[in-house]
Amino acid sequence: MITPVEKKKKLYAKFGVGEYWIVDPWEKGVEIFSLTGKEFKLSRSYTRNDNLESPLLEGLKIELSSVFSY
């Protein structure tokens, strides 16, 4: 059976969404998947102490310590 996350990834890939992020509030991390051909591949993983930079959105930088400061 296909998981909801996998279903969403396939749908996003079908319509050419260039980047897909999974934010884990419990582990305080972010995984960025980039569209390669017709599927997503893990591009980068970040932890709460990292500064996230989007491979697709040039200039976008997010200090994750401030995002996960709760």
Residue 39's domain spans which residues?
A: 4-67
Q: How far apart are the first and last CA of the chain?
A: 35
Candidates 50, 41, 48; CA nearest to 12 is: 41
pLDDT digits (tens, 9 = 90+) for 45-57: 999 999 999 999 9
Report the domain count for the chain: 1
pLDDT digits (tens, 9 = 90+) for 1-31: 889 988 999 999 999 999 999 999 999 999 9
Identify residue 61 by its one-letter amino acid code: K
Structure tokens at 31: 């995984």
For the whole model, what pTM was predicted? 0.87
70 CB contacts (<8 Å, ≥6 apart)? none
Q: What is the largest CA-CA distance in the chain?
A: 38
